Amino acid sequence: MTSIATHATIPASPLGQVRLTRRGRVVVVLAALVLALVVGIALSGVSSASEEAGAARATEVVVVNEGDTLWGIAAEVAEDGEVRSMITEIRELNDLDSSVVTLGQKIHVPVAG
């Protein structure tokens, strides 16, 4: 009997191309995500606030009466067409979670003008 030895040759990768295993691809993707997270955190710390204090807007305290709504109160002090933005401003000024006001509640409202 004759024995024939065969030698398998592994073809060289074209241009030294690297082939990643499944685990290698996972590592590359995770490394990219970590890098993106680090860059995002670094950029989110940038503030556009200045050292100068802004001018405080004058406010007055309004006591909510029966039948009053935040919309109605805001409409009294807002410029024409600016009621929604005034409601937002009043909510932020008083740290309100919603637009609901209750009888006897005291809220700070920007002075009209």
DSSP for residue 16: G
Scanning 1-113, the segments in alpha helix (DSSP H) are 22-44, 70-77, 83-94
pLDDT digits (tens, 9 = 90+) for 8-46: 666 665 666 778 899 999 999 999 999 999 988 888 876
Report the relative pairing of strands 59-63 and 106-110 from DSSP bridges.
Answer: antiparallel
CA distance readout (Å), 101 to 33, 65, 69, 84, 85: 45, 10, 7, 16, 17
Model pTM above 0.75:
no
Q: Would you state the structure tokens that stand for residue 41, as one six-digit string?
A: 């955190």
Contact indicator for 71, 99 with CB cutoff of 8 Å: yes
Q: What percent of the chain has pLDDT over 70?
A: 76
